[in-house]
A and B are shown apart, each in its own frame.
Chain A
Amino acid sequence: MKSISIYLSLILHRMDLPGPIHDFLLVFLGSGLILGGLGVVLLTNPIYSAFSLGLVLVCISLFYILSNSHFVAAAQLLIYVGAINVLILFAVMFINGSEYYKDFNLWTIGNGLTSLVCTSILVSLITTILDTSWYGIIWTTRSNQIIEQDLISNSQQIGIHLATDFFLPFEFISIILLVALIGAIAVARQ
């Protein structure tokens, strides 16, 4: 964990927080994330689940701030918490209170299989992250980028890439948004 944070600070040449506070915040946010996730899945009242999903998304945003990616943190807060979570809450509030599941099987064969698959994915991801030499990748890809990179902030770099390299997907996404809007109206109207 410490090595990963050192590598990240090497990329960005800025490490705003000294070591112990950084680690403490990592552990704190991580535990908040796990607790929120458990809350989403295990709580019976769907409104409580939706609010703990909001907690999870806010913790992820704070993780981004800890990694010095301020743009993504702000985007996460705006879009995930501000739009998607609010939408989920709207949908959840249409559910009648008396229809909560009172007696459901706590553990089925399907649950066992799914937990096996998810645990294996978790273990494989952890081993992959620990076994990959991030140092080599970072220093190899740094040579391909523009020269004045340290003078330009992260948000400006994202803007430059969106306007030059990824212009076509950017415009295509606007078409997707248009179709989503029209589709929502077409599906929902009487």
Chain B
Amino acid sequence: MAIAEFLLFVLTTTLGGMFLCGANDLITIFVAPECFSLCSYLLSGYTKKDVRSNEATTKYLLMGGASSSILVHEIELQEIVNGLINTQMYNSPGISIALIFITVGIGFKLFPGPSHQWTPDLYEGMLHSWFSSFRDYECNRSIRRQKDHPKMIISWLLRTNQIRWFFFSIFLTCSYGTKVEKIEKNQSFTTTDEGFLEKLRIIVAFLSVTSKVAASASATRIFYIPFYFSSNEWHILLEILAILSMILGNLIAITQTSMKRMLAYSSIGQIGYVIIGIIVGDSNGGYASMITYMLFYISMNLGTFACIVLFGGLPPLAGFFGKLHLFWCGWQVGLYFLVSIGLLTSVVSIYYYLKIIKLLMTGRNQEITPHVRNYKRSPLRSTNSIELSILFFQN
């Protein structure tokens, strides 16, 4: 459990995500998720002592390997599709096959509807291992002498850079504004989505958020540029995925008793909203709304996994604007069915967010309240700044 490998895996995961966002040819679109996934497996299996984290890692690895193989076949079919597009054959079965394969391959990374089974196990295993190792750190004096315990690393990173992360987050939101302009003018995606570097508190937050960001960025590019002429087909596919993930994610989250699994299922539901943004596309600012929502999702999720207590209070305020913009764009384009399902499921999701608040207010869990006192100020500050700057840039 040394610090050197930890930092190396985190940095290489970041590198893989950045290359995925900035990919310009198909080989990079395959190689970059490989790098990202490999480092994610290594990070998720970092605490070897805990059995549950090992189980989570194994599941993640197997599913990731299977999806990568599907993605490889898709890349190979994509080359055929390029040839087909050159010969102007837009309706051949080859294009549909390539489309299905790539939807499955990318669908795994984003985990919308059908590919979501491994997500809660992964979150539960990893959070359990990380929390138990933190708890051991607090309670066991002999471990505290180890300078390279992950909790030491993370808290050191945050203590020394707190103010800098804050200003960095403001800078990132400004860069998000310029990036949105670039997409709307169909320019190339040369900068990268680095919003996740705001708060590197717990590695599960990092993993969940990074994979979503990178995969949705690549999904927008892949679905929009080569598959432009068969847009009806992938609209239908993505609609099905969005509906499945919204319904499944939010409904199953109601019945969960464990907080970590509930958060995992809620993140599945939120990917459904993001997919609506992808479907809407370039006209009417669909990509802008997707990125806006992604930003809120990042800040919410990082705050959540870090302190588990303030999630309920903020989403109806900050995430509300993101969802509103998404649904507004969707309604304008004409996806009435999708948007109505989205509205229904967000009402459902408010239920389990409020359940978390209720749990907080009744004060059943004594361990969390010191963390509330310590961390209450910073997430509020940063989320408000992000919200203000987004509102500023939306015009």
Bound complex: CA A129 to CA B322 (Å): 44
For chain B, the count of residues having a C-beta within 8 Å of the partner chain is 30
Within 8 A of B (CB), among A92-133: 124-125, 127-128, 131-133
Is B237 engaged at the interface, CB distance under 8 Å to the other chain? Answer: no
Please judge, given known A-B contacts A137-B83, A141-B86, A183-B9, whether A175 and B35 are in contact too, CB under 8 Å: yes
Q: Which of B28, B45, B80, B87 contacts A169 (CB 8 A)?
A: B28
Is A3 engaged at the interface, CB distance under 8 Å to the other chain? Answer: no
In the bound complex, residues from chain A placing their C-beta under 8 Å from that of B87 are: 133, 136-137, 140
In the bound complex, residues from chain B placing their C-beta under 8 Å from that of A17 are: none
Which of the 9-residue segments B90-98, B146-154, B208-216, B278-286 touches chain A? B90-98
Contact in complex: A132, B84 (CB < 8 Å): yes
Contact in complex: A172, B32 (CB < 8 Å): yes
| Shortest distance from the beta carbon of A133 to any chain B beta carbon, whole Å | 7
Could you list 25 examples of A-B contacts with CB < 8 Å?
Answer: A128-B92, A131-B94, A132-B80, A132-B92, A136-B87, A137-B80, A137-B83, A137-B86, A140-B83, A141-B86, A166-B25, A169-B25, A169-B28, A169-B31, A172-B28, A172-B31, A172-B32, A175-B12, A176-B35, A179-B9, A183-B9, A183-B41, A183-B42, A186-B5, A187-B48
Nearest residue in B to A183 (C-beta to C-beta)? B42
Is A180 engaged at the interface, CB distance under 8 Å to the other chain? Answer: yes
Report whether over half of chain A's contact residues are helix, strand or loop; otherwise say mixed: helix
Is A146 engaged at the interface, CB distance under 8 Å to the other chain? Answer: no
Interface 1/0s, chain B 86-112, versus A by CB < 8 A?
A: 110100111001000000000000000
A-B contact count (CB 8 A): 74
Interface 1/0s, chain B 138-172, versus A by CB < 8 A?
A: 00000000000000000000000000000000000
Contact in complex: B42, A187 (CB < 8 Å): yes
Report whether over half of chain B's contact residues are helix, strand or loop; otherwise say mixed: helix
Is A173 engaged at the interface, CB distance under 8 Å to the other chain? Answer: yes
Contact in complex: B8, A182 (CB < 8 Å): yes
Is B127 engaged at the interface, CB distance under 8 Å to the other chain? Answer: no
Contact in complex: B25, A186 (CB < 8 Å): no
Nearest residue in A to B57 (C-beta to C-beta)? A187
Within 8 A of B (CB), among A141-174: 141, 165-166, 168-169, 172-173
